[in-house]
């Protein structure tokens, strides 16, 4: 056999010994997830196929996008998934104030683990590949079908292998790695493919770094991103989950479309300029250019709202003040992270520096609420997309960056190099 890690997981879930790239299969699903945008739309479609979900342990509905409900229509949408979740007696019932952003809460609650086949009606569902699972984003009809039948059709993807070596420099993190990669291969550089991350450099990346990297696989067009399971992954799953998991390793003779080596030690802080995540500029380039003055900073989201992200931002903001013309939204990704920020004194650091410290939500990432941008405004954001109109007015400009760059920029008032804070 010569299968990639992704292909082996898909083969097992399709009940096949072997699959090849391009093959169309029907695979069994371990977790099916939707949110308050995609869930309500899926319910009438689900009802055309079934009265009950295929397995109440495996279907999860997360109210996180327009919550706390931003308007009446959003309240109706949250209500629809809440009632469905309660009526169907879903094991993992999620509610505002008790959960968080979907792609942070599912790993944190141990709902997703290695070796699983997971779909979510949200494009950033690829996040869970960090745990060694096959996980991909789908649309509403797909998710309704998954909820009803526990199966879905897939085209088996080919893969690009990223061989990581070396160790990240201080003030460089997973976000810089993935922005660097998307800058290199382009926003369709991995279209329909898996991005498989391997090599000795993997062990140097924290789980939070891996979640960030897999989260943005879709921004290169990928079907999924995936990391092998190592001691860190096992430790994370043992701490967060009671589920049994299965470890997969790619065959030694697996065929890849491309093999790309990434030397982690050479990556420097990187920012994606408007209006594509692939429009990457290194901080060295930025330092030589004219300053980009900013109006807003967002630190949070399914990409970078985890504990280590907030710790890194707080370390830079501690004892400093946010620039006068800048407003900062800090949005912890889950309730657990929120309370940990309080316990560790991070909340105080953020608030004393002049940041708004908000309740877990997708919030401003997709221009929903809690930080919508006006015409001509510029924002440094730790989120994942900088498309036209993504965070508000079509003439607002979004610069995607790490929590370290976001925090340094908040203090400076322009896009700033975290390596130079304190100089």
Residue from 74, 270, 303, 334 binding another protein (CB under 8 A) = 74
Task: For residue 63, give the DSSP letter.
Answer: -
Q: Are strands 194-198 and 159-165 parallel, antiparallel or unpaired?
A: parallel
**30, 152 contact by CB (below 8 A):** no
Angstrom distance (rounded) from CA 256 to CA 248: 17
Which residue's CB is nearer to another protein, number 80 or number 416? 80
> H-helix or E-strand containing 408?
helix 403-412
Binding flag, residue 123, another protein (CB under 8 A): yes
Residue from 142, 209, 377, 404 binding another protein (CB under 8 A) = 142
Binding flag, residue 371, another protein (CB under 8 A): no
3-class DSSP state of 2: coil
Binding flag, residue 100, another protein (CB under 8 A): no
Residue bearing tokens 């079907």: 223
**186, 278 contact by CB (below 8 A):** yes
Binding flag, residue 153, another protein (CB under 8 A): yes
Which residue's CB is nearer to another protein, number 82 or number 312? 82
Residue bearing tokens 């526990």: 150
Residue from 138, 317, 349, 370 binding another protein (CB under 8 A) = 138
Question: Taking the complex as a whole, how short is the minimal distance between the CB of residue 121 and another protein, in angstroms?
Answer: 6
Closest CA to 281 of 293, 291, 268: 268
What binding mask, one character per residue, do residues 172-211 give for another protein by CB under 8 A, x or -? ---------------xx--xx-------------------
Question: Taking the complex as a whole, how short is the minimal distance between the CB of residue 221 and another protein, in angstroms?
Answer: 6
Binding flag, residue 387, another protein (CB under 8 A): yes
Question: Taking the complex as a whole, how short is the minimal distance between the CB of residue 215 and another protein, in angstroms?
Answer: 13
Binding flag, residue 20, another protein (CB under 8 A): no
Question: Taking the complex as a whole, how short is the minimal distance between the CB of residue 177 and another protein, in angstroms?
Answer: 21
Angstrom distance (rounded) from CA 8 to CA 194: 12
In the region spanning residues 348 to 367, those forming contacts with another protein, defined by CB under 8 A, are 366-367
> H-helix or E-strand containing 153?
strand 151-155
Question: Taking the complex as a whole, how short is the minimal distance between the CB of residue 367 and another protein, in angstroms?
Answer: 5
In the region spanning residues 247 to 276, those forming contacts with another protein, defined by CB under 8 A, are 276
Dihedral pair phi/psi, residue 311, rounded to 5°: -65, -40
User: Which tokens is 375 given?
Assistant: 């015409």
Angstrom distance (rounded) from CA 81 to CA 99: 14
Q: Are strands 31-35 and 59-62 parallel, antiparallel or unpaired?
A: parallel
Binding flag, residue 139, another protein (CB under 8 A): yes
Residue from 4, 85, 127, 140 binding another protein (CB under 8 A) = 140
Angstrom distance (rounded) from CA 394 to CA 275: 10
Residue from 30, 122, 209, 404 binding another protein (CB under 8 A) = 122
CA within 13 Å, CB half, 45: 15
CA angle 163/166/167 to nearest 5° reads 120
What binding mask, one character per residue, do residues 212-231 give for another protein by CB under 8 A, x or -? ------x--x-x--------
**Total number of residues that touch another protein (CB under 8 A):** 48
Binding-site ranges for another protein (CB under 8 A): 24, 37-38, 40-41, 45, 48-49, 65-66, 70-71, 73-74, 77, 120-123, 125, 137-142, 144-145, 148-149, 153, 187-188, 191-192, 218, 221, 223, 276, 366-368, 385, 387-390, 394
């Amino acid at each position: 056999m010569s299968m990639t890690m992704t292909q082996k997981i898909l083969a097992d879930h399709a009940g096949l010994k072997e699959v090849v790239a391009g093959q169309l299969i029907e695979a069994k699903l371990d977790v099916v997830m939707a949110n308050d945008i995609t869930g309500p739309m899926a319910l009438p479609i689900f009802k055309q196929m079934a009265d009950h979900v295929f397995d109440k342990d495996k279907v999860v509905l997360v109210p996180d996008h327009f919550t706390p409900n931003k308007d009446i229509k959003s309240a109706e949408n949250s209500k629809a998934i809440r009632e469905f979740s309660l009526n169907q007696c879903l094991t993992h019932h999620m509610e505002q104030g008790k959960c968080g952003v979907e792609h942070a809460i599912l790993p944190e609650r141990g709902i997703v683990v290695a070796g699983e086949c997971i779909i979510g009606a949200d494009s950033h569902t690829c996040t869970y590949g960090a745990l060694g699972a096959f996980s991909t984003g789908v649309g509403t009809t797909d998710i309704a079908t998954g909820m009803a039948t526990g199966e879905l059709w897939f085209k088996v993807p080919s893969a690009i292998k990223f061989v990581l070596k070396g160790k990240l420099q201080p003030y460089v993190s997973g976000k810089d790695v993935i922005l660097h990669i998307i800058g290199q291969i382009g926003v369709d550089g991995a279209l329909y493919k898996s991005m498989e991350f391997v090599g000795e450099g993997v062990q140097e990346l924290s789980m939070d770094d891996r979640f960030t990297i897999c989260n943005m696989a879709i921004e290169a067009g990928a079907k999924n991103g995936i990391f092998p399971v190592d001691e860190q992954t096992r430790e994370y799953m043992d701490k967060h989950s009671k589920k049994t998991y299965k470890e997969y390793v790619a065959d030694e003779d697996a065929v890849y479309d491309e093999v790309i080596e990434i030397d982690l030690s050479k990556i420097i802080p990187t920012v994606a300029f408007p209006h594509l995540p692939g429009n990457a500029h290194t901080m060295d380039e930025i330092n030589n250019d004219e300053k980009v003055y900013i109006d807003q900073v967002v630190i949070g989201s399914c990409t970078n709202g985890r504990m280590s992200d907030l710790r890194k931002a707080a370390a830079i903001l501690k004892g400093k003040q946010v620039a006068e013309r800048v407003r900062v939204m800090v949005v912890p990704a889950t309730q657990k992270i929120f309370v940990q920020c309080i316990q560790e004194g991070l909340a105080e650091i953020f608030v004393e520096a002049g940041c708004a410290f908000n309740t877990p939500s997708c919030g401003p990432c997709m221009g929903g609420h809690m930080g919508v941008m006006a015409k001509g405004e510029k924002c440094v954001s730790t989120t994942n997309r900088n498309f036209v109109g993504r965070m508000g007015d079509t003439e607002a400009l979004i610069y995607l960056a790490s929590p370290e760059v976001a925090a340094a920029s908040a203090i400076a008032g322009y896009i700033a190099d975290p390596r130079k804070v304190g100089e």
